[in-house]
Structure 1
């Protein structure tokens, strides 16, 4: 396909998003709309739109590519999500609604103090800036190689225009607009998934039903109980999935901001229930796509593996319909997470770090929020371009992205300590504990794998959270003689 056609598709795509922004924006610009959509978002729209935010461009490309080497083992993590989302719906959402929170990290201030509050918000901001930048970096690289290099558009221009467009359709109404644009982008992503599966089914001349074909394949093995040291061991991945869901959804301002825009707690819980079901089915569909892509490549002698599998087959072998849907789906998956991330970063920095709701008039709050929104747009541009030009080894960037997972461990430890104990701890030491825990978790994971052959994998998140919890416990107001009793009693 000619690069000019790809450019035209992207232009039309963003025109649609801008139209949605105009339709959903109010004439009056206020922070209540930007931060919480005045709690008027329909729960079913939020539930559907959250799928796109959860499945980024990394997932869109990587999950099908994992199947060749990991089979359906990722489904063990997805099943763990079910337990995690249950905790979010029954424990965290009632807490957030009862406290009428704009930023979920305000809970930490009321439970521990100002240092805990600022620490939690700072870890979220760091993680979201790096994570959102990396997701957009991967997609920008694909688009640059497919179209913009040929046209002669420099990489920095591609990135700058992309972020500028996201800023343009989110700057006025924030989460109110994002709820609707994410719904459309989720739809585009699922259409791309469905079209590709249908074309592959037809191209491969599969005699039996597609479900039977996939389930009979050796690539569809799901449960791994054989080797406890393996990264694919069931209980390791299942428990990790539960905690990943809790921290990366329930303790994440980006994801929770959409939930908190629902009218009532009951609506928000319904949203979480249906979101869980849809997300499970969609992940299963992406892994099924991975089986079809892998077998198609093997049958036709095509050397494409891992993250290259889907892009190469879509571009060179499966025809223009699949390629167009792939481009739209990839962009939709990436930008549905990027626009909500930009909105959440603006919210967290404005409310948690600058405390605009406590220090400024309503008019000043809007002006400050607009400047913060622009600031984070520029930060994302700078970080993405830095990935391209300052870090030449992309494996280093991938490790940096993995490292952002460590930033959620302290949040897990702090919220667990706050919710499941009645203890007070030394607020001034919480930043130190939160910084030390990920470092200790990294080295324990590293040497456990090197010396014992035990690969923590996703399980390192639980280790990280446990270290934070222990640190808070050590510096709590409990007497040392009762410390062991508390641990044995489970913190009660």
Structure 2
């Protein structure tokens, strides 16, 4: 049966009141709990006095993000969709959290550092801190801009009427205006009180997120004629409830072998080397509290399961009721729009505003996190020692503004990359994978007893990024990009790596040739490329091997 609703309605006054009220309430709460910022320790670490449960809730809120909230239901609801994505979190992230809690966190707290890149600097030298900071910054901007993009898609669909009025008055198109609004709120929240405001607002937004998901699940059950029991039975028969996939097909992203062998490796980076997550953990009073925060954050998988069930519900609702012609057209153009269309067409007034506030909250909780982290790492890597403490706090706030604008511009550019990925979920997870491997390799070099000084990282990091790009893209334009980058890197080596010897030069040239071969002949036998869970492991191996092989201290020791 075709729904009589359309996308022309927009939000009711009640929905707008709920959204604005929620944002104002969260702003007030975050500001009141943050307290006065007396210096960088308060702004960046919350004075190391935040309770573990608030930190854990903040981690979950950041981890879930708008991508999970909006794109995961579409992955489940579309043809051939199921619950196999949960394997990555159930098995891969559990192992990764344990490694972070029992291996990395004790080392971080022993050093009393501001960020994990301080640890790398103390082990491998200050140049390594700049390399890791640059890798984190690039990966953070790419990954979080995809999340901002997706939330803007939701806002654009649900607030289409209101944004059309804004465009008529200001001349600003709906999508850029939606992106700007999300970034503006995130900048304000981060500016108010640093990481303490971020953690407390994230904890509240986590509750709002759960409330929105719960309301959606309840309303879907009400709308289905036979309720959830019949819908789950039909979903099981259709294969929608499949959780485990034991396939060894390398082209599949969501399989049990990938979860255990690849994702557990790759997810150590996001939890243990990514400043956005580690900054929260360092806000705890001691390592024991920080360990509790990271281990208890596994409850994120329960939330992810609930979001997946929204996808099952959307599939069942679509089979029974369908959407309007306008809604069907929007979903056909971009399958990730199914949840936003459902919000706009089906949810009643009040619940619609609550769920939209949840989606907005999911985006902001991730964006304010990355802004705080980018500001801190940039200041520490390039300016803290040269800036007076009284001026450092002001400079950090300016960096928040700068990165907020940069993230917004990148989010607008993401629309040109989106068509190359099966879903926005894959897109967002893939973006950070380009730099994640090189970043993780730096920490392995810092922790392992390899007697290196980190000088090889400056060369192995760009080589790692180029190798991952070459592994993923094989079109003629991509081969041209790899060729140009390889030539440029070779020229940089020729001018900047004098005195390293012919052996090191040969190793570097072989690495560049390997990237060219990878983009030309690196496709899978059935066509296509390795999926996103492989990005970080492949990048790690390349950065680790060449970081060790090109290390000055190692080369000098082997020559004597």
TM-score by length of 2: 0.78
Deviation at 1:128, TM superposition (A): 1.4
Deviation at 1:93, TM superposition (A): 0.9
Alignment match, 1:177: 197
Deviation at 1:16, TM superposition (A): 1.4
Deviation at 1:298, TM superposition (A): 1.9
Q: Tell me whether 1:294 sits opposite 2:315 in the alignment.
A: yes
Instruction: Write the deviation string for residues 359-409 of structure 1: whole angstroms up to 9, x where unpaired.
Output: 333212222222222322332343344557xx4x64269697534321111
Deviation at 1:17, TM superposition (A): 2.4
Q: Tell me whether 1:163 sits opposite 2:190 in the alignment.
A: no
Match of 2:213, SS? helix
Tell me the distance in 2 between the aligned counterparts of 1:396 and 1:126.
Answer: 20
With over 3 angstroms needed to count, the CA separation of the structure-2 counterparts of 1:480 and 1:29, relative to structure 1, is: closer
Alignment match, 1:437: 464
The 5-angstrom pairing of residues 219-368 of structure 1 reads 219-231=240-252, 232-276=254-298, 278-302=299-323, 303=328, 304=331, 306-354=335-383, 356=384, 358-368=385-395
Tell me the distance in 1 between the aligned counterparts of 2:460 and 2:260.
Answer: 27
Match of 2:437, SS? helix
With over 3 angstroms needed to count, the CA separation of the structure-2 counterparts of 1:444 and 1:2, relative to structure 1, is: closer
Deviates more, 1:366-375 or 1:116-125: 366-375
The equivalent position to 2:50 in structure 1, one of 8, 33, 41, is 41
With over 3 angstroms needed to count, the CA separation of the structure-2 counterparts of 1:152 and 1:191, relative to structure 1, is: same
The equivalent position to 2:154 in structure 1, one of 142, 147, 161, is 142
Deviation at 1:12, TM superposition (A): 2.1
Deviates more, 1:94-103 or 1:289-298: 289-298
Tell me the distance in 1 between the aligned counterparts of 2:371 and 2:128.
Answer: 23
Deviation at 1:294, TM superposition (A): 1.1
With over 3 angstroms needed to count, the CA separation of the structure-2 counterparts of 1:209 and 1:417, relative to structure 1, is: farther
The 8 Å contact of residues 441 and 543 in structure 2, kept in 1 or not, is answered as: yes
The 5-angstrom pairing of residues 120-135 of structure 1 reads 120-135=132-147
Deviation at 1:207, TM superposition (A): 7.0
Give the root-mean-square deviation of aligned CA atoms: 2.8
With over 3 angstroms needed to count, the CA separation of the structure-2 counterparts of 1:19 and 1:440, relative to structure 1, is: same
Q: Tell me whether 1:199 sits opposite 2:228 in the alignment.
A: no
Q: Tell me whether 1:151 sits opposite 2:165 in the alignment.
A: yes
- Gap regions ≥5 residues in structure 1: 483-492
The 8 Å contact of residues 229 and 453 in structure 1, kept in 2 or not, is answered as: no
The equivalent position to 1:470 in structure 2, one of 526, 541, 545, is 545
Deviation at 1:456, TM superposition (A): 2.4
Q: Tell me whether 1:406 sits opposite 2:418 in the alignment.
A: no
Tell me the distance in 2 between the aligned counterparts of 1:160 and 1:456.
Answer: 34
The 8 Å contact of residues 29 and 173 in structure 1, kept in 2 or not, is answered as: no
Instruction: Write the deviation string for residues 246-290 of structure 1: whole angstroms up to 9, x where unpaired.
Output: 1112111011111110111111111112111x1121112222221
Deviation at 1:48, TM superposition (A): 1.5
The 8 Å contact of residues 56 and 294 in structure 2, kept in 1 or not, is answered as: yes
Tell me the distance in 2 between the aligned counterparts of 1:267 and 1:360.
Answer: 32
With over 3 angstroms needed to count, the CA separation of the structure-2 counterparts of 1:250 and 1:211, relative to structure 1, is: farther
Deviates more, 1:212-221 or 1:32-41: 212-221
Tell me the distance in 2 between the aligned counterparts of 1:8 and 1:137.
Answer: 24
Deviation at 1:53, TM superposition (A): 0.5
With over 3 angstroms needed to count, the CA separation of the structure-2 counterparts of 1:200 and 1:469, relative to structure 1, is: same
Deviation at 1:217, TM superposition (A): 5.6
The 5-angstrom pairing of residues 353-432 of structure 1 reads 353-354=382-383, 356=384, 358-387=385-414, 391=416, 394-395=418-419, 401=428, 402-419=430-447, 421-425=448-452, 427-432=454-459
Alignment match, 1:102: 114
Q: Tell me whether 1:13 sits opposite 2:22 in the alignment.
A: yes
With over 3 angstroms needed to count, the CA separation of the structure-2 counterparts of 1:235 and 1:407, relative to structure 1, is: same
Tell me the distance in 1 between the aligned counterparts of 2:255 and 2:408.
Answer: 39
- Gap regions ≥5 residues in structure 2: 1-8, 474-520
With over 3 angstroms needed to count, the CA separation of the structure-2 counterparts of 1:423 and 1:229, relative to structure 1, is: closer
Alignment match, 1:485: none
Deviation at 1:143, TM superposition (A): 1.5
Alignment match, 1:190: 210
Deviation at 1:97, TM superposition (A): 0.7
Deviation at 1:448, TM superposition (A): 4.1
